[in-house]
Structure 1
Amino acid sequence: MNRSVKKMALGLKRILQREVTNEEDSLKRPKRGSRKDSLTAGEERVLLDVFLSFIVLRVLQAKGNSLTANMEGDLQLFGKSGSDSNLLGDYLSGVQFLNRNFDCCYLVDDIKSRITHQTIEKIRDLFQSVKDEDWKKEEIISWSYEYFNEDSLKRPKGGSRKDSLTASKDLKGKNGVISQFYTPKWIVDYLVENTLGKYYGENGLTAHKESSLTAGEEDGLTAGEEKGLDIEDVKIIDPACGCGNFVIGVYDKLKEMYQKRGYDDALIPKLIITKNLYGIDIDENAVEITNLLLRLKALEDGVYEKIETNIVAVPKGNNLKRPEGGSRKDSLTANEEGQNEYLKKFEKIGSLMRTEDVLSLRETASRQIKETGINDERLKKALDILSLKYDIVLTNPPYLDSSDYDFELKRYINEDYSEFKKNLYACFIKKSCELVEMDGFVGMITPQTFMFIGSYEKTRRFILENFQIERLVHFGLGGVFDNALVDTAMFVLRKSKNSLTAHKENSLKRPEGGPRKDSLKHPEGGSRKDSLTASE
């Protein structure tokens, strides 16, 4: 799927750059204006909104009218048979539908006026290069966003890697989009099955235990059963959730688990979204896509009400500054500069914010509500999420070497993660331990460097002293991410007081001459677990 999606996404972006936006665009949000009032600053944001509007509408069309039949307004999708004469009208009606029902893809009139019948015809023809069955998969939205960003972040000719970090119009700055690699579904499935599925599932992973990724019968009760956990109490977070690949994988697994326990299908989506799933990211665009995908999942499961999620972006801007015209007593703290420093730090490192700093900022936000009546709900929610403990942490963290840190990021990482500072992913290993409950599980895919290189010795020691290693899958070079040649490993860790008593490490061997994902498939004539046994 990914090759055709990449070609389509890059082609769509080129059409829109050529026919809809141009380098002179400077469409900024007016002061005190919301995103609905106009577009966010910069050409890339303008372009992204138009780009996503076409992708999301095409996904809705592929999924069929039954998905949106009971929603407010009629959805007129472009490109329907017999509607060519009103192609532009169908598209603009579709954009209004997205505004009303998904709170996304707001386009100002100036941009709408540049989209023509001919533009949409070109896009319709381009979309035919992707199979209809692939358009039915909501993750195509995530992958399209990745390819949109990849095209923006190419290294300039003759430039170094550092040059490429500032050469693009990347809205998230030097340490945002450049370090993101979205997680293939087969990786998501493996980590979800070996954390949530294995340890919190009833009688192991699924009803078809013989073909699951669980260990043998000697495991006995699952961790969830040992703790007496109710499924509604299981909390799972992705602290670098991006476009929600893990979030959607967990949603699907939890739905299966709720159904096995006899829950009413009509109640399941809301329970999962409000009680089980949590996520945070510094990329506001990616979080918007994650929430859109959850909306699509709920719709497919017959829930048409809008459900407030626990997936949030780190708020940008000085949200706790003194109100305009206010006196000193109206400000939030006696040491306003110190509190603003916490905010700057939160904006920069997001979920890597240490617990003590999260609690300090949370206290400040609470004081703001009491003293001024000003309540920044997004900030409060983000801090509340980072104040909780979780049963499972699942993530594919950013991979950013310390040589690519800018001044501010380097300062914050040195302050809080001096022993893990070599790469951001190592900092996330440390943070995951902070977020997870004792006996809870951490599932991650990262570069393999932490296993071998001397500068990661303290990271290795930290893992051995705080976790049991339940699964360790070493892929080596390439074969995981379509758009990046990265030496990778994925692992499942169980937080434990028993240091250096790790379970035996399991390895995944690649079949000779075969791609890495093939090693996750059932061998011919055998069950899936047969392919995952550790070597002698």
Structure 2
Amino acid sequence: MDTSVLKNFAQESRRYLMDVVAKKIEYYLTTDNVEIRAKKHLIEDLRKEISNTSKDQVIEKIAYTWFNRFCALRYMDVKQYSLVGVLTPMSESHTQPEILMEAKSGHIKDELGNPSSRDHVIGLLSGKVSTNDPQSEAYKHLVLMACNYYHSIMPFLFEKIDDYTELLMPDDLLSEASIVSKVRSALNEENCKDVEVIGWLYQFYISEKKDEVFEGLKKNKKITPENIPAATQLFTPNWIVRYLVENSLGRLWMLNRPSSNLISKMEYYIKPEVEEKDFLKIKGPEEIKVCDPACGSGHMLVYAFDLLYSMYEEVGIDSNEISSLILKNNLFGVEIDKRAGELAAFALTMKAREKQRRYFKNPVNPNICVLENIHFEEAEIKDYMDHVGHDLFSSQLRNTLYQFVEAKNFGSLISPEVSEVATVLNLLDQKNVSGHLFLTKTHSNVLRVLAQAKFLSPVYHVVIANPPYMGGNGMNESLKKFLENKYKKSKYDLMTAFMDKCSEICMIDGFWGMINLPSWMFLSSFEGFRKNLLETVTFSSLLHLGRGIFGSDFGSTAFVCNNSKNKSGKTGLYRRLFDQHVQVRSVEKIQSLFFDKGYGHFSINQNEFNKIPGNSFAYWLSPEIRQIFQTSKSLKEIGDTRQGMATSDNNRFLRQWYEVSFDKISLSSVSRESAKLSKKKWFPYNKGGQFRKWYGNAEYVVNWENDGKELLDYASSLYGSPTRTIKSISEYFKPSVSWSKVSSGNLAMRYFPAGFIFDVAGCAIFNPDHEKLNFLLGFCNTNLARTILTAISPTVNFEAGQIAQLPIFNGIENEKNTIPSQLIHITKMDWDSKEFSWDFKAIPLLKLINFSHPINDSFDLLIKESKQDVLKVKELEKLNNQFFINYYGLQSEVSAEVSLEEISLFYNPNYMFRTAASNEEKVGLLKLELVKEFISYGVGCIFGRYSIDKEGLILASQGADYKDFLSSVPNPRFLPDSDNVVPIIDGDWFIDDILEKFKCFLKVVAGEKNYEKNLTFLEDALGKDIKKYFFKDFYNDHIKMFRKRPIYWMFSSPQGTFNALIYLHRYNSDTVSIVLNSYLREYRAKLVSKRENLERLSNSGDASSKDKTAALKEIEQLKKMILELDEYEKDVLYPLATQRLEIDLDDGVKANYPKFGNALKPIKGLDKGED
């Protein structure tokens, strides 16, 4: 099955049909002519429907109605179930549908309509009935007749067409561009091999609507009832369906009939390890009831049909009766989406027709219940009670009638209060209200409610589902309140509420199975839910699938439970079908791992989960590690784990430290009191960040001026109290060890000295004893902690409460371990070697340069020394692992080895360039990175941010100028640019452009002796000459290095003819004028002079023809360049210069950069908010 073809077809069809329907509605509602007046009653019905719902909903409804019908008709054509090909030609040599070709020959099946309908079509085709396009008109009538014929067989999908639906049918059904042609193309024989295609079409049809809903979620728009189907629909791969059905329905049958041959048909059946004697008894297949309470397009029920069919065959039931028996007795589905319900019933009907050739002669309506909102007034219920008798109306029945007011919102999660629904329904159904006009509708609605309630009562042997997934953030208020009241333990997600519901409607000792997200297995919010689950059901098997079943967005898990308490200590089978949480594999790859019985195979009694903090479903842990939780204290007894603040507006309160004026940053405040006394505005802020161990990720500052007054006031204005989001204020500025809450899969702890405030994404552990902090840092960065943590938090998120549960052997914290201190020292030096560290002094290369040798020797030496550091850290991490592993006695369980890829040093090519193919390639990439850093440092010296004569920052505060540099560095060997404007222009136009200044820097810093060799080395490493690098690549590399918050800004004309760099911290209100007058205009004058010289050459009698041609070509190019500069000056730079724009570095690059409009080179992603 080619799902990509189906996806394109479904999405394009939806757009096409909605457009057609919208235009037709507009036509019928705004046009007045004879044709319109003849259809007045239909148009009036259309107006009423739009008034009762909305025009958009009517468009959506009619579009999907025709989509469903066309797809159903084509599917039946392909499978040769049709009376005559409605959409399909008789053979490949024909182009028109068989039904039309037959009609053109004068033949129309009697079943397709009454004589007058058939005569009308024949009249159109013969010319007796006048029309502009007889064939199209005739074919439309034939399609309508076919739909009405199928109404008697499948009324759920083919409603009798005598309303405005007919008006809104597409006109073009015969051209190559028609919807019919597209349906035929997409639903070919290959794609129609299995009725599963219907489910794929449904998912793809609503996929764009789903995207719209999730875009709305990003804007805090909650998911309304009508959007729940689109937001939550996911089609389940066939092999997962088989696993669920075979291990629930199939298992029930095998328990009752151990010698059944059904097992040979169940590839995904997991045979119990121990023979079971206590199980739900059944006499025969006719009594088994299977329910899917979120049935979608019926995929699970369709496969259940196959198994049930084999069961009926096994007990000798006549094959001509089986299909009808299954649909009547065994299969039940519940849905809130009419479209899906129609398709589920259609799929089951097709399954029945596949097995029973004459099934259409005596069809059975499948038991698919599409829930509807039903509302009652108090007065009508009172009148109804008076009529039918108060003895029938218990308080439970009365309450049940009101439970379905929001059935489209709450769906199958409604639990009818009335017991014995079927009995009450039968009694009320016998009541005669025909003589009471006002009670007729009430009576009908009461019966409808009870019919719906009957589907949601606990009568099923087997329940299977792929439920909707929706966390609290997406829920509308009414749904959220409903879950809080009715599903207190499982309220955090619809999927877990459905787990409770499945258990509720399943018989004791029956089976229920599901595929959903694995968050319920581990997250702390589901702890109470897990506890209840472990006490009430027995897990037979569970497949932990990882990412890939539903694409790359999230992982999934599938499982089957016996609906009874684990009384006899049974073990369940758990399969871990992935290695890494972030790893995405294909559905087929995961399927192949299922069949590899040795892969990720664990057998465990679920009571063992009670030993693990939070009852986490960490089935993969060994008994020895599970026992550690019983014999150890928790980390929270040694360290205080805290969640930090959420500013509620990062764009306002956070900056990368290099964006703001350095003199407004305090790096030495060790308490709130000293921070306030400092009078500074910005303070170091721990915001989590990338995977990095031991030290680093110190890049942000937060506005905590005047003890955070502005931030606290803002939080109070939003939430009434600042402490709702500004957490753990008492711990601000204290030393800590911290980790990133959101990770790439592994925990990485870092030391933060005194002076930091911390973020919700940069959770932290505190202890006033520095040795204890070092101990915790050392423990949390071990392979042992990582192994244990997979049980507490096996996702990519690490909450403070989860880290607090890590088990610490009694007394181990008092053991001496100096390794963490050594690792902090090495990794701090590594961090500070980068310009984005506020403790940056100079690039490490500077100390290694020897004027007697070419600079490439220094680079090689730096790479060699860096390799030694990497190996040193690797060895220290291994020793740290051994220290803890040996103390815990888990040498056989946990390895002490550390891979080079996890040594998180910037000068470790195995970490920085993991995807590179070879070591040689990785080292080459590292050398390239070092060359770019050397050039970047050189540019920093050109602007005076750094100096080769003095370590650290020189000019980094707002308004700093050339004089300040000379004051700080009295006798510099290398002078910065005096006017803070450095041109970057293709060609040799300025003696002080970026290339000339960098060449000067290179000579001063590395000596003149090897200057040419040094320049050649740099250019070889870059793969281009240095001028081209500056012109093409430098600014992009700078933007990347400084996380899209550059400190050097590039003025650039639209086509890049003119470029000039400035240094943000040296900017003043005259800077734009300097760019304009000293550089842009001067450059233009030089271009004009060159053009004039070339014009003289082109007119010279002494010049060759070749030279004149070249001159004329260059003249045209110069004219374009001059025009570009003229327009740049007139429209952009001159108006900006006259403004004498002032900026405040406190506002940040994101706010300041756009103030310069088109004067500056655009930065892709600049407008993205701080995470």
Same fold (TM over 0.5): yes
SS of the residue 2:268 aligns to: coil
In 1, distance between residues paired with 2:570 and 2:177?
57
Q: What letter matches 1:213 in structure 2?
A: Y
- Is 1:358–1:386's contact at 8 Å kept on the other side of the alignment? no
Alignment check: 8 A CA contact 2:78 2:192 kept? yes
Task: Summarize the Cα distance change of 1:237–1:205 in structure 2 as closer, same or farther, 3 Å threshold.
Answer: farther
CA spacing shift, 1:150–1:158, aligned 2, 3 Å: closer
SS of the residue 2:175 aligns to: helix
* Matched residue, 2:258: 203
Please list, as runs of the form range in 1=range in 2, the aligned pairs for 1:356-395 lying within 5 A after superposition.
356=417, 370=431, 372=433, 374-376=443-445, 377-395=447-465
Cα distance change of structure 1 residues 529 and 260 upon mapping to structure 2, 3 Å threshold: farther
The answer to whether the Cα contact below 8 Å between 1:10 and 1:151 also exists between their aligned partners in 2 is: yes
CA distance in 2, matches of 1:91, 1:120: 18
Partner of 2:404: 343
Checking the alignment, whether the CA contact within 8 Å between 1:237 and 1:277 is kept in structure 2 is yes
Q: Aligned to 1:253, which of 278, 286, 307?
A: 307
Bigger Cα displacement from structure 2, 378-387 vs 443-452:
378-387
Larger deviation, residues 464-473 vs 514-523: 514-523
338 and 23 in structure 1: CA distance in 2 versus 1, 3 angstrom threshold: farther
Q: Which one-letter code corresponds to 1:95 in the other structure?
A: C
- Once the two structures are TM-superposed, the CA of residue 270 in structure 1 deviates from its matched residue by 1.5
AA paired with 2:554? V
* 3-state SS, counterpart of residue 132 of structure 1: coil
Q: 1:339 to 1:311 in 2, by over 3 A?
A: closer
1:510 is displaced (CA, Å) by 4.5
Q: 1:162 to 1:379 in 2, by over 3 A?
A: farther
Q: Distance in 1 between matches of 2:371 and 2:265?
A: 42
Matched, 1:55 2:107: no
Select the residue among 469, 477, 494 that pairs with 2:562.
494
Structure 2 residues not aligned, in runs of 5+: 30-42, 50-54, 101-134, 435-442, 604-619, 621-1171
Could you give the per-residue CA deviations for residues 136-164 of structure 1, whole angstroms, max 9, x where no partner exists? 32122222122221122323897543666
Partner of 1:4: 5
Structure 1 window deviating more from structure 2 (422-431 vs 300-309): it is 300-309
Deviations 1:261-304 (A, max 9, x none): 22211111112111111121222221121111121111222222
1:313 maps to what in 2?
A: 370
Q: How does 1:91-102 map to 2 (within 5 A)?
A: 91-102=143-154
- The reply to whether residue 287 of structure 1 matches residue 358 of structure 2 is no
Give, in angstroms, the shift of residue 411 of structure 1: 1.7
Q: Given residue 69 of structure 2, which amino acid in structure 1 is its aligned partner? A: S
Compared CA separation, residues 120 and 59, structure 1 to 2 (3 A): farther
Letter of the structure 2 residue corresponding to residue 5 of structure 1: L
CA RMSD of aligned residues (A): 4.0
> Is 1:179 the equivalent of 2:238?
no
Give the secondary structure class of the aligned counterpart of 1:134: coil
Mapped to 2, the partners of 1:154 and 1:164 lie a distance apart of: 13
Partner of 1:275 in structure 2?
329
Give the drift of 1:220: 4.2
In structure 2, what is the Cα distance between the partners aligned to 1:102 and 1:40? 27
1:145 matches 2:202: yes
Structure 1 segment 457-472 matched on structure 2, within 5 A:
457-472=527-542
CA offsets 1:40-68 (integer angstroms, 9 cap, x no match): 9611001011111221111112112xx24
Q: Which amino acid aligns with 2:10?
A: A
Which protein shows a greater Rg? 2
Q: Are the structure 2 counterparts of residues 158 and 424 from structure 1 closer, same or farther at C-alpha, using a change threshold of 3 Å?
A: closer
| 1:173 to partner: Cα distance | 1.8
Structure 1 distance, partners of 2:217, 2:300, is 32
- 2: CA distance, partners of 1:200 / 1:14: 46
The whole-number CA distance in structure 2 between the counterparts of 1:308 and 1:364 is 19
Moved more, 261-270 or 9-18: 9-18
CA deviations 1:238-269 (Å, max 9, x no partner) are: 11111111111100111122222222111111
CA distance in 1, matches of 2:545, 2:590: 10
- CA deviation after TM superposition for structure 1 residue 416, in Å: 0.6
**Does the CA contact (< 8 Å) of 2:468 and 2:495 recur in 1?**
yes
- Quick one: which amino acid aligns to residue 11 of structure 1? E
Residue 154 (1) aligns with residue 211 (2): yes
Aligned pair partner of 1:117 in 174, 198, 202: 174
Contact 1:282 1:313 in 2 (8 A): yes
Distance in 2 (alpha carbons) for counterparts of 1:217 and 1:502: 10
8 Å CA contact 2:515–2:556 kept in 1: the answer is: yes
Give the Å deviation of 1:432.
Answer: 1.3
Structure 1 partner of 2:86: 76
Show CA shifts across 1:283-333 (max 9, x none).
222112111112111122222212133221113332688669x79945997
Amino acid corresponding to residue 4 of structure 1 in structure 2: V
Q: CA deviation at 1:123?
A: 4.1
1:395-406 alignment runs, 5 A limit: 395-406=465-476
- Preserved contact between residue 513 and residue 561 of structure 2 (Cα < 8 Å): yes
Q: Could you tell me whether the CA contact under 8 Å between 2:349 and 2:366 is conserved in 1? A: no
Of stretches 118-127 and 445-454 in structure 1, the one that deviates more from structure 2 is: 118-127
Question: What's 2:1023 paired with?
Answer: none
Shift of the 131–163 alpha-carbon distance from structure 1 to 2, 3 Å rule, reads farther
Q: Select between 252-261 and 333-342 the one with higher mean Cα deviation.
A: 333-342
2:18 alignment counterpart:
17
Aligned to 1:448: 518
Q: How many angstroms does 1:396 deviate by? A: 0.7
1:21 touches 1:47 (CA, 8 Å); kept in 2? no
How far residue 361 of structure 1 moved from its aligned partner, in angstroms, is: 11
Change (3 A) 1:296 1:8: same
- Secondary structure class of the residue paired with 1:490: strand
**Letter matched to residue 561 of structure 2:** L
C-alpha separation in 2, matches of 1:28 and 1:319: 27
1:176 CA displacement: 3.5
Contact 2:21 2:62 in 1 (8 A): no
Alignment of 1:470-481 (within 5 A): 470-477=540-547, 479-481=548-550
Q: Kindly provide the amino acid, as one letter, of the partner of residue 480 in structure 1.
A: I
User: Which stretch has the larger CA shift, 10-19 or 359-368?
Assistant: 359-368
Superposition deviation, residue 473 in structure 1: 0.8
Q: Greater CA deviation, 356-365 or 16-25?
A: 356-365
Of 482, 502, 507 in structure 1, the residue corresponding to residue 575 of structure 2 is: 507
SS where residue 56 of structure 1 aligns? Answer: helix
Kept in 1, the 8 Å contact 2:508–2:563? The answer is yes
Quote the residue 1:229 is aligned against.
283
Distance 1:276 1:256 in 2: 13
1:246 maps to amino acid: M
Q: 1:444 to 1:338 in 2, by over 3 A?
A: closer
Matching residue within 498, 502, 520 for 2:591: 520
Residue 213 in 1 paired to residue 274 in 2?
no
Q: Of the candidates 226, 239, 243, which is equivalent to residue 293 of structure 2?
A: 239
Deviation at 1:392, TM superposition (A): 1.0
The alpha carbon displacement at 1:334 in A equals 11
Return the alpha-carbon distance in structure 1 between the equivalents of residues 528 and 535 of structure 2.
Answer: 10
Cα displacement (A) at 1:499: 5.6
Q: Which amino acid aligns with 1:467?
A: V
The answer to whether the aligner puts 1:45 opposite 2:61 as a matched pair is yes
Matched residue SS, 1:506:
strand
Select the structure with the greater relative contact order (CA < 8 A; seq sep ≥ 6).
Answer: 1
Kept after mapping to 1: 8 A contact 2:196/2:299: yes
Give secondary structure in 1 for the equivalent of 2:319.
coil
Q: TM-score, normalised by structure 1?
A: 0.82
Partner letter of residue 350 of structure 1?
A: G
Instruction: In structure 1, list runs of 5 or more residues that go unmatched.
Output: 34-38
Residue 380 of structure 2 corresponds to residue 301 of structure 1: no
Q: Deviations over 1:199-222 (max 9, x none)?
A: 313437745649843445854468
Q: Distance in 2 between matches of 1:157 and 1:508?
A: 30
